[in-house]
Amino acid sequence: MNNKIIWYLNPWDALPNEIGFDRSLSIINKLSENNFNVVWWNTSFSHAEKKFRKKITLDNCELILLPGIQYKSNTGIKRLISSILLFSFFFQIKSVFKKKPRIIYLSGPILFVSLYVFILKLFFNIKVVCELRDLWPEGSINQASGLKKYFFKLISVIPYFSRYLVFKFSDNNVFINQKFKSRAENLYSFLKEKPSVISLPSPIIDFGKIKNYSSIKFKKNKNEIWAIFSGTLGDSHNQEIVLNSLKYVNKSIKKKLIIFISGDGHNRNKLLNIINKNKLQNIFLTGFLSHNDYLLLLEKSDFGLSFYHSHSPVSFPTKVMDYINAELPIIMSGSFDASRVVEENNCGIVIRSDSENEIAEAISEMCNYEKLSIYTNNIKKISKNYSSESQIDIICDFLYKLI
């Protein structure tokens, strides 16, 4: 009988054939290949697609869909309530008697299961591994303003305490970047004494899947140069500053610049207003794309754009990992772990100010064939170091040592 049982708790990642983060699927696939029996606790509501799921079965794990509620904003009140509903997990305690796990792996901002985890750890001697993938509720607080900000601060006392307990109960920890690790260890000094690893975002970019795929949406002419800005049209990504900078882009560039902004969100109309006000041409808001369309757009693009507002808690954005794995040079903002990689390897341009002129100059430079070739060759040299497989191996090798 296989007693290498892992309970994997992540209610945010995508199931097969859904858009969204596929990190959980990659981890579970790897564990299954190494004869681990995985029980994946997810929810009935898709975090990325914002719709309810149909019940499905997976070949490589047992999937349990906990009750979820519908929400639109990733940083809003309903998202918080959805997290609280994970308390329904507590009433599944009878499951532990059927399949006692050796390891409980908590992934993402799961803040309301600490009591249950404590009980399991106390009575069943279970190892707990916590993966910090999001600075939440900090993200919600930073993006709010006015009375809403004070309200978030007030109600965040409970999730802060719950997160403290989860880390206190944990035996080992996984951090998605150095910034989050440092932040956690500054808040909870006891974490410095616990074994941990850093595993960066791990999207799978496999152009082999679209070898025979085509789409009328993305027909590229030889005289065009394409840029992609991928990300939610919300309060974290800063598509506005890029759009406002385009009026300063060098008009003498030899090829026609076309920018695709993929994703959707409540700022869509705001972006459309900027496009109309500045009379911008060749800017396309694609909305949510199917996985194949997204891969096709990445494959046809020449460089990627990644800009965030200063209040955003990200450090190594998943979309930047998309670009690296797709071997696209990058223009990005901020003092992030990712921006350091871009600078040190000369595979793009980092903008450390809110200067629209600087962004325009960087875009104009990317449209220069010689400059673009240098950046492209450099990103090709490092892309394998940031592949999905390499990052997932870090996690799984870490878990293998616990059994």
Angle of CA points 82, 316, 335, to nearest 5°: 120
* Mean pLDDT, the chain, integer: 87
Q: Tell me which residue has tokens 């009433």.
A: 91
- Give domain 5-202+388-400's CATH superfamily: Glycogen Phosphorylase B; (3.40.50.2000)
Work out whether strand 51-52 and strand 45-46 pair parallel, antiparallel, or are unpaired: antiparallel
**Out of 5-9, 158-162, 254-258, 299-303, least confident range:** 158-162
What pLDDT, in 10s, does the model give residues 217-246? 899 999 999 999 999 898 889 999 999 999
Report the pLDDT averaged over residues 261-289. Answer: 93
pLDDT band at 317 (very low <50, low <70, confident <90, very high): confident
Residues of the chain with CATH 3.40.50.2000: 5-202+388-400, 207-385
Residue 191 has pLDDT above 90, yes or no: yes
Task: Tell me which residue of 111, 201, 237 sits closest to 163, measured CA to CA.
Answer: 111
CA distance 387 to 391: 7
Backbone angles phi, psi at 100, to 5 degrees: -70, 120
CATH class name, domain 207-385: alpha beta
What pLDDT, in 10s, does the model give residues 130-144? 998 876 666 666 666
Report the pLDDT averaged over residues 273-300. Answer: 93
In whole angstroms, what separates CA 59 from the centre of its chain? 25
Task: Tell me which residue of 357, 239, 230, 202 sits closest to 293, measured CA to CA.
Answer: 230
pLDDT for the residue 31: 95
Percent of the chain surpassing pLDDT 90: 48
Query: What ranges make up the beta strands (E) of 238-323?
Result: 256-262, 283-287, 303-306
DSSP one-letter string for 300-314: H-SEEEE-B-TT---
Residue 89 has pLDDT above 70, yes or no: no
pLDDT for the residue 139: 64
